[in-house]
């Protein structure tokens, strides 16, 4: 190393793989580098399948982001519906008469955000699937 460089400004060494130097941004030793494996066609350490057979690169990142946002909202609505359904389930199971009818009404009302959540989760699944340009059939 030249003597005019400071000790703290050392340039990191280029990581190398079995087929030569890896591109910049590759992972340190001991961690899986999926981009390198996809580029070279090597097999994944945990399975005998090629990585390309198990994962696909995101072709449209904006659509992937929208899918993640839909999924986050979908989970929130689904949890809200399930939490709102708990008192209704308790009223239906443990009471009879008017209280049971109130429990059924509570379950019907709790079903609305749950159905919205399931719809958002399915939309998220479709968006993230199509962001990878995978076939649906």
d(CA 130, CA 15): 34
Per-residue pLDDT band at 9 (split at 50, 70, 90): low
The pLDDT assigned to 123 comes to 96
Per-residue pLDDT band at 57 (split at 50, 70, 90): confident
The pLDDT of 74-93, averaged and rounded, is: 96
The pLDDT assigned to 110 comes to 96
The pLDDT of 22-38, averaged and rounded, is: 55
């Amino acid at each position: 190393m030249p003597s005019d460089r400071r000790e703290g400004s050392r340039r990191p060494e280029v990581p190398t793989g079995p087929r030569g130097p890896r591109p910049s941004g590759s992972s340190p030793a001991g961690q899986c580098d999926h981009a390198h494996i996809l580029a070279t066609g090597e097999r994944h350490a945990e399975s005998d399948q090629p990585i390309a057979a198990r994962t696909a690169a995101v072709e449209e990142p904006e659509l992937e982001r929208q899918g993640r946002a839909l999924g986050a909202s979908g989970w929130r609505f689904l949890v809200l519906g399930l939490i709102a359904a708990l008192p209704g389930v308790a009223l239906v199971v443990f009471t009879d008469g008017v209280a049971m009818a109130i429990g059924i009404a509570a379950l019907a009302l709790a079903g609305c955000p749950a159905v919205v959540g399931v719809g958002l989760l399915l939309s998220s699944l479709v968006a993230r699937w199509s962001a990878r340009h995978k076939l649906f059939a």
